[in-house]
């Protein structure tokens, strides 16, 4: 009863229930005390002889099925998550249900809620109170947070897989938070990107401050050189003009080529033979005629 506010605790004591409440999660799971509370406000609709104070799953399901029909007939809106969590004795579910019934039946507001942490119907709060080496693994978290009664009431495999996947996803998120909080324990070294020095981008206000500072320097006489931005097309043009103006570093060498006589080529083509060794016949006749013309007349006679 220490997890309930004092106002709710006094309200339960004023109802004069049949047996005292020692463990909220265990005592409210079968729905018998919930039916007894509503019997004080709706005595004609709820008869206590039709409810069984038992610990078995069939008795719990029977009691809550009668309560659900009563809630529907009286238009009492109670979240289904609170009901399912109370049946399967999930952490913090029964406490929230009792506080909800208190505000619904008495029209009062609770000054202080006993549950000031994240409500997810798991043992995350208890695990956070333990040291890191004593906390449960992912498989142990699925085993403790997924009750066997849930598989018995809803034997659908897809819903069971979804519940287990949600618990594993939360476990992975908590593990990542632990790594960020204590990187030395997990031997996490910073990456190259994290080690780099990052400069913040220049804001518009700082640019104006720099312009004012540069103008003040010019007035004082200090030379300030600023590089103006030029479009890429103009940069390429200026580079090409500078290259054309600069003297070329390539040295050219003159080569004299001896051209053949066209007349000799024509004569050689006419008297061309297929033999690669002997000279052509036409060339021999032409040489002999030239020699005969150039010889002196005395020798010829």
Distance of CA 18 to CAs 35, 36, 67, 181, Å?
12, 8, 18, 49
Nearest to residue 67, comparing CAs of 47, 81, 85, 94?
47
pLDDT computed for residue 68 by the predictor: 92
DSSP state for residue 251 in the 8-state scheme: P
Residues contacting 91, CB < 8 A, separation 6+:
25, 121, 122, 123, 125, 126
Average pLDDT, the chain: 75
Backbone angles phi, psi at 265, to 5 degrees: -65, -40
Rounded CA-CA distance 80/67 in Å is: 12
> At 278, is the pLDDT very low, low, confident or very high (cuts 50, 70, 90)?
very low
Distance of CA 296 to CAs 28, 291, 292, Å?
151, 10, 9
Burial class of residue 8, CB neighbours in 10 A (0-12, 13-18, 19+): buried
| Placement of tokens 């220490």 in the chain | 2
pLDDT computed for residue 144 by the predictor: 83
Q: CA angle, 236 as apex, 232 and 237 as ends, to 5°?
A: 115
Q: Looking at 119-128, 203-212, 268-277, 284-293, which range is the least confident one?
A: 268-277
Residues contacting 66, CB < 8 A, separation 6+:
35, 50, 51
pLDDT in tens, 60-108: 999 999 999 999 998 888 888 889 889 988 888 898 899 999 999 998 8
Q: What's the mean pLDDT in 285-289?
A: 56
pLDDT in tens, 239-255: 666 555 555 555 667 77
Ramachandran area for residue 257 (φ above 0: left; ψ -120 to 50: alpha; else beta): beta
pLDDT computed for residue 114 by the predictor: 47
pLDDT computed for residue 32 by the predictor: 93
Helix locations, 21-92, DSSP H: 24-27, 32-41, 57-74, 80-87
pLDDT computed for residue 204 by the predictor: 62
Rounded CA-CA distance 115/92 in Å is: 8
pLDDT computed for residue 222 by the predictor: 47
Residues contacting 28, CB < 8 A, separation 6+:
21, 34, 86, 94, 97, 98
Where is pLDDT greater, at 266 or 94?
94
Where is pLDDT greater, at 297 or 178?
178
Task: Let me know: does 31 contact 37? Beta carbons within 8 Å.
Answer: no
| pLDDT higher than threshold 60 for residue 117 | no
Half-sphere exposure of 71 (CA within 13 A, CB side): 18
pLDDT in tens, 181-233: 888 888 888 888 878 877 777 666 555 566 666 666 665 554 444 455 555 55
Rounded CA-CA distance 22/271 in Å is: 134
pLDDT in tens, 120-161: 777 877 888 888 788 888 888 888 888 878 878 877 888 888
Burial class of residue 94, CB neighbours in 10 A (0-12, 13-18, 19+): buried
């Amino acid at each position: 009863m220490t997890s309930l506010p004092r106002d709710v605790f006094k309200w339960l004591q004023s109802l004069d229930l049949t047996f005292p409440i020692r463990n909220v999660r265990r005592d409210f799971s079968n729905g018998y005390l919930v039916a007894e509370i509503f019997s004080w406000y709706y005595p004609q609709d709820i008869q206590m002889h039709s409810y069984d104070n038992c610990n078995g799953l069939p008795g719990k399901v029977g009691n809550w099925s009668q309560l659900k029909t009563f809630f529907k007939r009286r238009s009492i809106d109670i979240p289904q998550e609170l009901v399912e969590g109370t049946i399967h004795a999930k952490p913090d579910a029964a406490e929230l249900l009792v506080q909800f019934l208190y505000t619904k039946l008495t029209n009062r507001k609770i000054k202080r809620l006993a549950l000031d942490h994240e409500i997810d119907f798991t043992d995350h709060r208890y695990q956070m109170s333990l040291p890191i080496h004593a906390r449960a693994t992912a498989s142990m978290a699925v085993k403790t947070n997924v009750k066997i009664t849930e598989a018995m009431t809803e034997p659908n495999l897809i819903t069971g897989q979804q519940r287990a996947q949600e618990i594993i996803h939360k476990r992975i998120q908590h593990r990542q938070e632990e790594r960020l909080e204590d990187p030395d324990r997990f031997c996490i070294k910073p990456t190259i990107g994290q080690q780099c020095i990052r400069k913040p981008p220049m804001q518009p206000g700082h640019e104006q401050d720099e312009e004012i500072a540069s103008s003040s320097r010019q007035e004082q006489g200090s030379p300030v050189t600023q590089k103006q931005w030029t479009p890429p097309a103009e940069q390429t043009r200026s580079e090409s003009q500078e290259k054309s103006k600069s003297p070329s570093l390539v040295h050219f060498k003159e080569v004299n080529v001896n051209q053949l006589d066209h007349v000799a080529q024509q004569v050689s083509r006419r008297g061309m033979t297929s033999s690669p060794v002997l000279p052509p016949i036409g060339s021999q006749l032409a040489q002999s005629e030239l020699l005969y013309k150039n010889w002196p007349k005395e020798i010829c006679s």
